[in-house]
C-alpha cells in the first residue's frame, strides 16, 4: 500500500497538483493524468437524483452533528471525527454505521463544510423514508500525529495506514459510545477520491468488518482488482454491496472501471455509474452518497 501511495504522490507532484486545492485537493474539473488507459466496461444505468435532494428543507426533522475525539492506538494520539446522528436518535435503539471518508486535500470536516452537505442529504432521505436507521461517521483519513491538511503530499503514507486506526480504534469507540449493532452486516464504508480508494481497499480487504463498500471517483491509490479480490467466491458470499460512481469527464474513471470489468468477468455483483459530464467534484460525490445510503442495511 505504501508503494502505491508513494507512486501516486510522485505522479501528482509531476502533474503539479496541489494538495491544498479548494474542497478536495484534486483538480475541480477533468482528471489528473490527461489520458489513462480506456477500459471497455458496461456501465449501470444512470438515474438523476431529484431536484433538491441536497437542499435544506423546511418542515422536516433534522439530525445533529457532533465532533468527537478518540484515542488512536496505532497513531498514539487523540484524533477527531464528525458524527451525524439521525433525527430522533434514541439510545435505546440500535443503529447501523456508515464510515464516510474524505479526499487527499480534506479532513474530518470536508464532507460537512466543503460542499458535501451529508447532514442535509440524510435528513431529506429520512424525511422521505428512503434510508435505514444509521449513524454517519466522518473521520480524518490520515493516520498520523500531524493529520492536518497542511501535511500535503507528505501525508500519503498515512492514508495507507488508516485501516489500523479505523478498525483498531475508531470503530470500537463508536460502538462503545453510541447505540450501534456493531457487526459487519450493519457496517458500511464509502468515500470520495482518495477516500474512495481507501474504502475499496479497506472494505474489500476486511469483509469481516464491512459488508457494504462504495467508491466515489476513486483515486489511483485504489488497488488493482486481483489484489482487491483475491478470492472471488469469498467476495460473492460476503460482500453485500459494491457500488461506484465516477464522472465521465474525470480521467480517474480507470480506477473504478478496472474493478468493474474484473467483477463482470467473474460474475461478482458490482455497480458502476458513469455520471454524465461529471467532473471531480461534489456534484458527483453528493450523488454517490444519495444513492449509496439508500442501498445499504436493507
- Nearest to residue 81, comparing CAs of 56, 102, 104? 102
**Average pLDDT, rounded, for the chain:** 89
| Structure confidence by residue, pLDDT tens digits, 210-244 | 999 999 999 999 999 999 999 999 999 999 999 99
Percent of the chain as helix, strand, coil, to the nearest 5: 35, 20, 45
Q: What is the pLDDT of residues 98-141, one digit of tens each?
A: 999 999 999 999 999 999 999 999 999 999 999 999 999 999 99
C-alpha to C-alpha distance for 173 and 250, rounded to whole angstroms: 36
Return the domain boundaries, the chain.
2-295
Q: How far apart are CA 102 and CA 218, in angstroms?
A: 11
| CA nearest neighbour of 102 among 55, 51, 142, 58 | 142
Tell me, what's the pLDDT at 153?
57
Calpha distance 295→298 (Å, rounded): 7
Cell of 49: 437524483
Show the cell assigned to 18.
Answer: 496541489
Tens of pLDDT, residues 54-101: 999 999 999 999 999 999 999 999 999 999 999 999 999 999 999 999
DSSP summary character for residue 153? G
- Which CATH architecture is the domain 2-295 placed in? 3-Layer(aba) Sandwich (3.40)
Global model pTM greater than 0.75: yes
Amino acid at each position: 500500500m505504501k508503494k502505491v501511495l508513494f507512486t501516486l504522490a510522485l505522479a501528482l507532484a509531476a502533474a503539479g497538483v496541489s494538495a491544498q486545492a479548494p474542497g478536495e485537493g484534486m483538480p475541480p474539473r477533468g482528471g489528473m493524468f490527461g489520458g489513462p488507459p480506456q477500459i471497455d466496461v458496461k456501465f449501470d444505468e444512470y438515474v438523476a437524483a431529484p431536484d433538491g435532494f441536497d437542499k435544506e428543507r423546511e418542515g422536516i426533522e433534522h439530525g445533529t452533528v457532533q465532533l468527537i475525539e478518540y484515542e488512536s492506538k496505532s497513531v498514539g494520539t487523540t484524533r477527531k471525527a464528525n458524527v451525524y446522528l439521525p433525527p430522533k436518535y434514541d439510545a435505546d435503539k440500535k443503529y447501523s454505521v456508515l464510515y464516510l471518508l474524505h479526499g487527499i486535500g480534506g479532513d474530518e470536516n470536508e464532507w460537512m463544510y466543503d460542499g458535501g452537505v451529508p447532514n442535509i442529504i440524510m435528513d431529506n432521505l429520512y424525511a422521505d423514508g428512503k434510508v435505514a436507521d444509521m449513524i454517519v461517521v466522518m473521520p480524518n483519513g490520515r493516520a498520523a500525529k500531524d493529520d492536518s491538511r497542511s501535511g500535503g503530499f507528505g501525508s500519503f503514507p498515512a492514508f495507507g495506514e488508516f485501516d489500523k486506526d479505523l478498525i483498531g480504534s475508531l470503530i470500537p469507540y463508536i460502538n462503545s459510545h453510541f447505540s450501534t449493532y456493531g457487526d459487519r452486516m450493519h457496517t458500511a464504508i464509502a468515500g470520495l477520491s482518495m477516500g474512495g480508494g481507501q474504502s475499496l481497499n479497506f472494505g474489500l480487504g476486511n469483509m469481516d468488518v464491512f459488508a457494504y463498500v462504495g467508491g466515489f471517483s476513486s483515486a489511483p491509490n485504489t488497488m488493482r482488482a486481483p489484489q482487491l479480490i483475491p478470492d472471488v467466491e469469498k467476495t460473492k458470499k460476503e460482500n453485500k454491496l459494491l457500488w461506484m460512481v465516477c464522472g465521465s469527464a474525470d480521467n480517474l474513471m480507470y480506477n473504478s472501471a478496472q474493478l468493474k470489468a474484473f467483477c463482470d468477468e467473474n460474475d461478482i455483483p458490482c455497480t458502476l455509474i458513469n455520471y454524465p459530464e461529471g467532473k471531480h467534484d461534489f456534484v458527483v460525490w453528493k450523488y454517490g452518497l444519495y444513492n449509496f445510503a439508500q442501498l445499504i442495511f436493507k
